[in-house]
Structure 1
Amino acid sequence: MAQRLLTELMEASDQGALELLRQEWIPLSKAAQIVGRSRQKTQNLLHELCHRQGWQPRRSQRSQAYRYRRHWADLLREQVAQDP
């Protein structure tokens, strides 16, 4: 399931996925623009992907939204590394 979501995000915009991989963190509005989805849809996909991977930010972390996006970028980089 997480693979399907990741594929959906990456297929939304090949250039967008490459742009996401170049940056460790980007604002949600920029991520939405890059993948060609609404902010809410992008955030929902991001959160669903992270939860299905079994990852959740700890409450003590600086910003949950920041941590989600950071983890999301890490997942994308790992996926591209596995499937060159």
Structure 2
Amino acid sequence: MRSCDRPRTDEADRLKVLSAGADDSICKPFGLAELAISIEVVLRPMKAVTSSRIVFDRFAIDSTRREATLNDRIIKLTAWEFNML
């Protein structure tokens, strides 16, 4: 995390660091591009979590459809089996 008390680098340098994946606080004044990228960095981990389909090689689990497939063929599972999976 960058300290707001330090001398600031120019915005282009801060944008590069944020785009590369740094978690960072924003010091005032800040540009809109810096704010947008900071929000994207915070939301980045959430994108992976929202997917309803998980794929392991040729095996896939779709939590929305509540089905599992192997080699694109549906595996018949009871509700209990799917919940355990």
Shared fold (TM-score, shorter chain, > 0.5): no
Computing the radius of gyration from Cα coordinates, the structure with the larger value is: 2
Q: Which has the higher contact order (CA 8 A, sep 6+)?
A: 1
Larger helix proportion of the pair: 1
TM-score (norm. length: structure 1): 0.26
TM-score (norm. length: structure 2): 0.26
